[in-house]
Amino acid sequence: MTMSKSDQSVHKRSVRFSPERSLFDQLPAETRIVSRRVRTAELRTEEFLLNVGPQHPSTHGVLRLVVSLDGEVITQCDPDLGYLHRTFEKISENRTYQQIVPFTDRMDYLGSMNANWGVAVAVEQLAGIEVPERAEYLRVIVAELNRIASHLMWMGAFGADVGAVTAFLFGFREREMVLDMFEEICGSRLTYGYIRVGGVAEDITPRFVKLAQEFLDLLPSKLNEYHDLLTGNPIFKQRTKGVGVITLDEAIRYGVTGPMLRSCGFPWDLRKDEPYSIYERFDFDIPVYYDGDCFDRYRVRMDEIGESAKIVRQALEGLPEGDFKVKKLARNIKPPVGDVYVRQEAPRGEYGVYMESDGTIKPNRVKYRTPSFSNLSILALMTVGWKIADLVAILGSVDIVLGDVDR
Amino acid sequence: MNTMLSAILGVLILFGVIALQGLILVYMERKVSAWMQSRLGPNRVGPWGLLQTAADIVKLLLKENIRNERSDRVIFFLAPILAFVAPFAAFVTVPFAATIGFRDLDMGAFYVFALGSSVVFAVIWAGYGSNNRYALIGAMRSAAQMISYEVPLVTAVLGVFLVAGTLSLREIVQLQSQGLWYVAVQPLGFVLFLVAATAESNRAPFDLPEAESELVAGFHTEYSGMKFAFFYLGEYAEMLVSSCVLVVLFLGGWLIPFANNANVPTWLHLLSFVSKVYLIIFLMMWFRWTFPRLRVDHLMAFGWKVLMPLALVNLLATGLIVYWLKS
């Protein structure tokens, strides 16, 4: 078949990427394939798939993110979880009620005290155990100190994520003082197992009180130091302000809680809204910010450090005399048949424990609702359209603990 | 034959000096960062940990050189060499004192900047040759960054050349001995040069090509052993050469302030030069351990929208003043 003159002209035009669709369709099939290939090469660049993690300096553990990039801009981000899954829920179902507590240390290892507490309260509610007042005070003190330590550690890690390595060491320096206190009362620095069913493991010592006073006196000046180093820094602001914004509506739809939710302008804190333990006796505020970006998440946490310090100070002043645990507790607790759901405000958000008893010494069903998991679920939504450098800042601002995500 | 011998000797001395400086700088960086982060820094190997960097070099020499199977063999091999050789060669024209220096070129400043900008090839080769995605992103960033900062850097120093009327580094220092140092004549140029030079040597807050928290190790992710050491040494050599050029162009080189420089022994001049250089290096280390890292688009915006207009204004003002004074 010979090509007519008009056909040739059409062919020429198609090579010059004529936008007319009708002309393109008129072309012979083989020409169309070639021309389409040229078109795609000309107009659309190839997607760049980047595998971040599970071993990466900024995934805070073993999180894997499969990121599609258009240049430096993220077009898609798929978190791949489960690298640290240790079946804690199933293990908990095969242990006696008292034996569950140490496992929760390994879930949120930066907020172990809070993790212990939830389980202890769940078992106490199931079995109807009344906890002495002094034990409640001690629980509040250590849980709030743990919150401070967790936020300090987060501040350091977040600073390192955006490139301010010095902040990392500053955060650790003050966290060390909290760890010293915990070492004093329970002997360990990371997995405490201090809050137990029926009270706490040991009474506090005079040295603990002295260390705590020193720490609380020092903290305001140190907070100012962090504000000098990070909060007022123009580069830090540039890196965090308006980055990774989520709206309140999105946050609620994804079940985001804790500082992330409070940075979207919703003052939801279980310590105030559903006061558990003895929190209604203390005077403290819930810091709220309204932009829902990385900078506001940072500010919420920094303010919470101060509020937690206020609670610890009041609790230390009002600490009553008495027992620090229930005097007589059965070796194997057998709660009556029933179930319970306990939720508390952990450093990272709402921590829930569902426990179902069938009347034996082991729970029939245990489920942990961990804040990191829910907070991480919004990551894919938050990161699209931002740059690869922002991915690190946004992921850091979520404050995940992989042990808490995978359980 | 004699010139050949002296040239080889010169290169060996230069290499020895730079390698020693590299060791000292790495140690200094560790101690300075430790001091800023309330740590102790190295303190085990030798007195005050002085031999730590030497021990590290031994470790790096003994390490296996791992090469990615699908990397580009030639490019992968050449990148670290260029990364070290370019800043190393730039030292040839730096006048350390009135009579100490390897070669005074008429186009000395041009030569230094030309070599300084060729480091970008090393980074791109490393990123492309190692067949690693992190390295590739690092290399792409580096290319963009180097172009964005090379232009304001050179535009900022053009003012100095206008005032001095020469490109020879030695003559520029000698001109400063007759009047004010150029930091007083060109304050804006000095600041611009300092910022752009920090960016040029890929140090924080402009360390995007290697951005540890984002890109693992950026363009040198795949490098190990001595090849990695060459990148490392190259970075410090580059920092050293930028500081040297800064001192020469703006801070009077080897000159001692408030003294009759004609009657001062040479070793004092050398000491003056070295202490000025180390002061600038300390400043750069201070930047690194205080500031967060800039984001890539902010970096470009800063380079083109802030530094570049300022550099142009500086150049225009200097040109007009020089013209007005001459006529």
Q: Determine the structural domain holding residue A98 and report its residue range.
A: 87-372
Checking if the pLDDT of A32 tops 70, the result is: no
Query: What is the pLDDT, as a whole number, of residue B210?
Result: 65
The least confident of A293-297, A346-350, B138-142 is B138-142
Q: Cis link prior to B209 (omega < 30° from 0)?
A: no
Handedness of CA A144, A149, A152, A157 (dihedral sign): negative
Burial of A312 (0-12, 13-18, 19+ CB in 10 A): buried
- Do B37 and A387 lie within an 8 Å CB cutoff? no
Nearest CA in chain A to B211: A163
Checking if the pLDDT of A4 tops 60, the result is: no
Checking if the pLDDT of A116 tops 50, the result is: yes
The CA distance from B115 to B95, in Å, is: 17
What whole-number percentage of chain A has pLDDT above 90? 8
- Do B296 and A161 lie within an 8 Å CB cutoff? no
- Do B213 and A161 lie within an 8 Å CB cutoff? yes
Query: What is the pLDDT, as a whole number, of residue A42?
Result: 52
Query: What is the pLDDT, as a whole number, of residue A21?
Result: 45
Nearest CA in chain B to A388: B214
Determine what percent of chain A falls in helix, strand and coil, rounding each to the nearest 5: 55, 15, 35
Can you give the pTM of this predicted structure? 0.79
Q: What is the pLDDT of residues B199-210, one digit of tens each?
A: 777 776 777 666
Checking if the pLDDT of A37 tops 60, the result is: no
Same domain, B96 and B58: no
**Among partner residues B39, B205, B296, which is closest to A163 by beta-carbon distance?**
B205
Checking if the pLDDT of B219 tops 50, the result is: yes
- Chain A residues with at least one Cβ partner in B under 8 Å: 48-51, 56-58, 69, 72, 159-166, 168-170, 173, 229-230, 233, 235-236, 238-239, 387-392
DSSP B47: G
- Do B292 and A233 lie within an 8 Å CB cutoff? yes
Angle at A364 between CA A360 and CA A367, to 5 degrees: 140
Residues 6+ apart with CB under 8 A from A354: A122, A339, A340, A341, A365, A366, A367, A368, A369
Amino acid B83 reads: A
Q: Which residues of B touch A239 (CB under 8 A)?
A: 292-295, 298
Same domain, B99 and B219: yes
DSSP A351: E
Q: What is the mean pLDDT of residues A306-323?
A: 88
Same domain, B224 and B190: yes
Chain A closest-CA separation from residue B54 CA (Å): 25
Query: Which residue in B32, B293, B298 has the most chain A C-beta atoms within 10 A of its own C-beta, making it the best mutation to test that interface?
Result: B293
- Do A170 and B133 lie within an 8 Å CB cutoff? no
The CA distance from B103 to A198, in Å, is: 82
- Do A162 and B293 lie within an 8 Å CB cutoff? yes
Closest C-alpha among A300, A279, A401 to residue A351:
A401
Residue A341 binned pLDDT confidence (cut-offs 50, 70, 90): very high
Residue B254 binned pLDDT confidence (cut-offs 50, 70, 90): confident
Q: What is the mean pLDDT of residues A328-355?
A: 88
Q: What is the pLDDT of residues B60-101, one digit of tens each?
A: 888 888 887 787 888 888 888 888 888 888 888 888 777 777
Nearest CA in chain B to A72: B137
- Do A162 and B292 lie within an 8 Å CB cutoff? yes
- Do B204 and A163 lie within an 8 Å CB cutoff? yes
Q: What is the mean pLDDT of residues A299-323?
A: 89
Higher pLDDT, residue B213 or B311:
B311
Residue A3 binned pLDDT confidence (cut-offs 50, 70, 90): very low
CA A117 distance to own-chain centroid: 18
Same domain, B120 and B4: no
- Do A163 and B292 lie within an 8 Å CB cutoff? yes
Checking if the pLDDT of A30 tops 70, the result is: no
**Among partner residues B205, B290, B297, which is closest to A387 by beta-carbon distance?**
B297
**Among partner residues B213, B289, B296, which is closest to A392 by beta-carbon distance?**
B213
Does residue B34 sit within a domain? no
**Among partner residues B38, B294, B297, which is closest to A235 by beta-carbon distance?**
B294
Same domain, B184 and B311: yes
Q: Which residues of B touch A49 (CB under 8 A)?
A: 133
Q: Which residues of A339-353 are buried (b: 16+ CB within 10 A; e: fewer)?
A: bbebbbbbbbbbbbb
Same domain, B69 and B215: yes
Does residue A237 sit within a domain? yes
Q: What is the pLDDT of residues A182-231, one digit of tens each?
A: 988 888 888 888 898 888 888 888 898 999 999 999 888 888 888 888 88
* Beta strands at A48-52 and A338-346: parallel, antiparallel or unpaired: unpaired
Does residue A276 sit within a domain? yes
- Do B207 and A163 lie within an 8 Å CB cutoff? yes
Judged by CB atoms within 8 Å, which residues 55-94 of B form the interface with A? none
How many Cβ atoms are within 10 Å of B175's Cβ, its own excluded?
Answer: 17
Amino acid B320 reads: L
Q: What is the dihedral of CA A333, A336, A340, A344, to 10 degrees?
A: -30
Higher pLDDT, residue B103 or B8:
B8
How many Cβ atoms are within 10 Å of B304's Cβ, its own excluded?
Answer: 15
User: Does B149 lie at the interface with A, CB-CB under 8 angstroms?
Assistant: no
Q: Which residues of B touch A162 (CB under 8 A)?
A: 213, 292-293
User: Which stretches of A51-96 are DSSP H helices?
Assistant: 88-93
Same domain, B197 and B295: yes
Q: Which residues of B touch A389 (CB under 8 A)?
A: 208, 211, 214, 293, 295-296
Mean pLDDT of chain A: 82
Q: Which residues of A touch B295 (CB under 8 A)?
A: 238-239, 387, 389-390
If one counts the domains in chain A, the total is: 1
- Do A163 and B298 lie within an 8 Å CB cutoff? no
Residues 6+ apart with CB under 8 A from A338: A126, A356, A357
Does residue A151 sit within a domain? yes
Using an 8 Å Cβ cutoff, are B232 and B25 in contact?
no
Closest C-alpha among B193, B194, B213, B202 to residue B144:
B202
Checking if the pLDDT of A11 tops 50, the result is: no
Nearest CA in chain B to A49: B133
User: Does B265 lie at the interface with A, CB-CB under 8 angstroms?
Assistant: no
Three-state DSSP class for residue A196: strand
- Token reading at B163: 């005032």
Nearest CA in chain B to A164: B292
DSSP A56: -
| ipTM at complex level | 0.74
Closest C-alpha among A158, A152, A291, A172 to residue A236:
A158
The CA distance from B100 to B94, in Å, is: 9
The CA distance from B239 to A63, in Å, is: 36
- Token reading at A165: 């390595």
Q: What is the pLDDT of residues A358-400, one digit of tens each?
A: 888 889 899 999 888 888 888 888 888 888 888 888 888 888 8
Using an 8 Å Cβ cutoff, are A92 and A363 in contact?
yes
Residues 6+ apart with CB under 8 A from B72: B128, B129, B131
- Do A391 and B293 lie within an 8 Å CB cutoff? no
- Do B293 and A57 lie within an 8 Å CB cutoff? no
The CA distance from B91 to B115, in Å, is: 10
The CA distance from A294 to A177, in Å, is: 27
The CA distance from B38 to A222, in Å, is: 13
Query: What is the pLDDT, as a whole number, of residue A28?
Result: 52
- Do A229 and B289 lie within an 8 Å CB cutoff? no
What whole-number percentage of chain A has pLDDT above 70? 89
What DSSP assignment string belongs to A219-283? HHHHHHHHIIIIIT-HHHHHHHTTSS---HHHHHHTT--THHHHTTT----HHHHS--TTGGGS-
Same domain, B53 and B79: no
If one counts the domains in chain B, the total is: 2
Nearest CA in chain A to B302: A235
- Token reading at A366: 């245990």
Checking if the pLDDT of B52 tops 50, the result is: yes
Same domain, B15 and B78: no
Checking if the pLDDT of A278 tops 80, the result is: yes
Mean pLDDT of chain B: 82
Using an 8 Å Cβ cutoff, are A365 and A93 in contact?
yes
The least confident of A36-40, A87-91, A158-162 is A36-40
Chain B closest-CA separation from residue A54 CA (Å): 12
Query: What is the pLDDT, as a whole number, of residue A36?
Result: 44
- Do B214 and A388 lie within an 8 Å CB cutoff? yes
Give the DSSP H/E element, type plus range, for residue A342. strand A338-346
- Token reading at A237: 């602001």
Query: What is the pLDDT, as a whole number, of residue B11?
Result: 79
Residue A148 binned pLDDT confidence (cut-offs 50, 70, 90): very high
What is the number of H-type helices and E-type strands within chain A? 18, 8
- Token reading at A93: 């179902």
CATH number for the domain harbouring residue A310: 1.10.645.10
Q: Determine the structural domain holding residue B7 and report its residue range.
A: 1-27+41-62
Closest C-alpha among B225, B226, B227, B207 to residue B217:
B207
Does residue B314 sit within a domain? yes
Nearest CA in chain B to A159: B292
Residue A277 Ramachandran class (φ > 0 left, ψ -120 to 50 alpha, else beta): left
Same domain, B79 and B198: yes
Same domain, B222 and B92: yes
CB pairs under 8 A between A and B: 85
DSSP A325: B
Same domain, B160 and B16: no
What is the layout of strands, in order, in the sheet containing A363-369?
A338-346, A349-357, A363-369
Residue A199 Ramachandran class (φ > 0 left, ψ -120 to 50 alpha, else beta): left
**What is the SS3 assignment for B35-56?**
HHCCCCCCCCCCHHHCCHHHHH
- Token reading at B39: 């740590």
Query: What is the pLDDT, as a whole number, of residue B208?
Result: 67
Strand partners, A76: A68
DSSP A387: B
Chain A closest-CA separation from residue B280 CA (Å): 20
Does residue B33 sit within a domain? no
Q: What is the pLDDT of residues B114-127, one digit of tens each?
A: 888 888 888 888 88
- Do B290 and A164 lie within an 8 Å CB cutoff? yes
Query: What is the pLDDT, as a whole number, of residue B291?
Result: 82
Does residue A74 sit within a domain? no
Q: What is the pLDDT of residues A73-95, one digit of tens each?
A: 888 888 888 888 888 888 989 88
